[in-house]
Amino acid sequence: MRAFLIRCFVLLFLFAGPAAWSPAAEPLGFYGFVNAQALPFGFNMEQVAGFSNIIGLEVGRFEDVDDVFDEELGIPRALDLGFHINLGLEAFSLNGQLNPEYFDSQVGLLSLKLQKSGYLDSNAIFSLFIVDEPANHGLTDEDQEIFIEIVNRYFPGHPTMINYSINQLLNPNLTIPEALDIVAFDAYYFRTENTDQSQPALDGFLESAMKQIRIKAPGKPVVFVAQGFEARRAGVKMPTREQLEWQVEYCLRSPEIVGLIWFMYGSSGDLRGSVDFPEQFERQRQIGHRLMPGLIQPLSRR
């Protein structure tokens, strides 16, 4: 059995279920934001600390890949703030033009640097994020399997994560690799073309994605990348405070979903995140504080 099963939430959630949590706690283990600490969206993880427990650090979203080790911008500061770290590898999976040899060399070098810095353990790096919406970047099912195998070789005991769009999940020709540990998915319903903006319509939309995950990746833990942004040119609307709550409520009713991560906090160009919507951000903060008793806290490194 893979060492990663020792890691906190997978066995607990899958085999014991929500009842394993404190009776007073909500059944989610992880809560956070995308692009809270990344170029060009800004370095703002302090703004989401205290009510969320996971942060994405993408090595390619710093001025230099080694900035992920920076005392103020990278891993040390994230650990001080109490975050689980989801370390992003898209700088290698995509910038290498889908080249497995390049990916292997860069992931191996990163692993060595983490080891020398004392961070190559599951108390520092919780999970490895390989790629976002792989089909949109030309990654085949075989490419994903190769990248997962490479990550597992250099980061034994760390869960792997890939994010899929709802369109990719609904495509019968696209699969989810069996070796993948955590399935993330995004499904952005609040768009100008969707005239029915009700909670039942949203639930049906999200359930269509979850149905495919249950078929393609049965038994795997799921992280929902929830809509918390606006992109006017693409017809994407920032959800209302009530619509934010609806997305959380769906997660709480879905036992496979172990985490919710909002897309997104920072803003850049037409993509406007929670930082530009104070009322919605305040509601996200309130939700986080409400969920906090049930969130899985990082293990101490002291």
| CATH classification of the domain holding 223 | 3.20.20.80
Q: Is 15 among the domain residues?
A: yes
Q: Is 302 among the domain residues?
A: no
pTM (predicted TM-score): 0.91
Banded pLDDT at 215 (limits 50, 70, 90): very high
177 vs 92: which has the higher pLDDT: 177
User: The domain containing residue 179 runs over which residues?
Assistant: 3-292
Helix (H, G, I), strand (E, B) or coil at 253: coil
- Distance, in Å, from the CA atom of 52 to the CA atom of 34, rounded to the nearest integer, reads 12
Helix (H, G, I), strand (E, B) or coil at 70: coil
* β strands within 29-123, DSSP E: 30-33, 37-38, 42-43, 54-58, 84-88
Query: CA dist 88 to 202, 210, 245, 279, 291, Å?
Result: 29, 24, 27, 29, 25
Q: Which helix (H) or strand (E) holds 80?
A: helix 75-80
Q: Is 98 among the domain residues?
A: yes
Q: Is 300 among the domain residues?
A: no
* Residue 299 confidence (pLDDT): 67
Sign for the CA dihedral angle at 37, 25, 296, 133 comes to negative
Tens of pLDDT, residue by residue over 227-263, are 999 999 999 999 999 999 999 999 999 999 999 999 9
Q: Is 299 among the domain residues?
A: no
Does the pLDDT value for residue 44 go beyond 70? Answer: yes
- Distance, in Å, from the CA atom of 162 to the CA atom of 139, rounded to the nearest integer, reads 12
* Residue 20 confidence (pLDDT): 43
Q: Is 202 among the domain residues?
A: yes
Does the pLDDT value for residue 39 go beyond 90? Answer: yes
Q: Which residues lie closer than 8 Å to 53 by C-beta, 6 or more apart?
A: 30, 31, 32, 82, 83, 84, 292, 295, 296, 297, 298
* Residue 23 confidence (pLDDT): 33
Q: Is the peptide bond before 264 cis (omega within 30 degrees of 0)?
A: yes
CB hemisphere CA count around 60 (13 angstroms)? 15
* Residue 278 confidence (pLDDT): 98
Q: Is 301 among the domain residues?
A: no
Q: Which residues lie closer than 8 Å to 262 by C-beta, 6 or more apart?
A: 32, 33, 34, 225, 226, 227, 228, 274, 284
Type of residue numbered 36: A
Q: How many domains in the chain? A: 1
Banded pLDDT at 297 (limits 50, 70, 90): confident
Query: Is residue 213 within 8 Å of residue 183, measured between CB atoms?
Result: yes
